[in-house]
Structures are given as structure tokens and as C-alpha cells.
């Protein structure tokens, strides 16, 4: 998670608190709320959720 925070801070100029909030929302069920509130973000949120799922399953299978 620290690398993800550092990436958001360095690439997008966000504060650490904002970057932590974004990652927390994506890793919890808050992503469904984002998609319901802003449907045009659904492809991006879906892609990020899919990547998180794929990376997690790959890490578990490799372990």
C-alpha cells in the first residue's frame, strides 16, 4: 500500500490523506457507491476492481 500511496502522491500531486482515502474507497465496497453516484466512472472503477481482484488471486495462487 505505501507504493500505491507514493504513486498517487507523485503522479497526481495529491496529499497523503487524499491518496489514502482513494485507496481505502477502492479496497472496500465504496467503489459501488462511486459507480452509483457517478455512472460515467464505472469503466474506470470496474477496471481497478478487476485488477485488484486479479492481482490478489495471482498472489494467493503463487503463495
Residues in the chain, overall count: 63
**Counting Cβ atoms within 10 Å, is residue 30 exposed (0-12), middle (13-18) or buried (19+)?**
middle
Give the three-state DSSP class for 55: helix
Does the pTM surpass 0.75? The reply is: no
> Tell me, what's the pLDDT at 3?
65
Residues 9-63: pLDDT tens digits? 777 777 878 778 877 777 777 777 776 766 777 777 778 778 888 888 888 788 7
Residues 20-31: pLDDT tens digits? 887 777 777 777
Q: How many CB atoms lie within 10 A of CB 2?
A: 6
Amino acid at each position: 500500500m505505501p507504493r500505491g500511496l507514493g504513486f498517487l502522491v507523485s503522479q497526481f500531486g495529491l496529499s497523503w490523506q487524499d491518496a489514502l482515502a482513494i485507496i481505502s474507497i477502492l479496497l472496500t465496497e465504496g467503489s459501488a457507491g462511486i459507480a452509483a453516484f457517478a455512472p460515467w466512472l464505472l469503466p474506470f472503477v470496474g477496471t481497478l476492481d478487476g485488477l485488484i481482484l486479479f492481482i490478489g488471486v495471482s498472489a494467493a495462487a503463487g503463495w
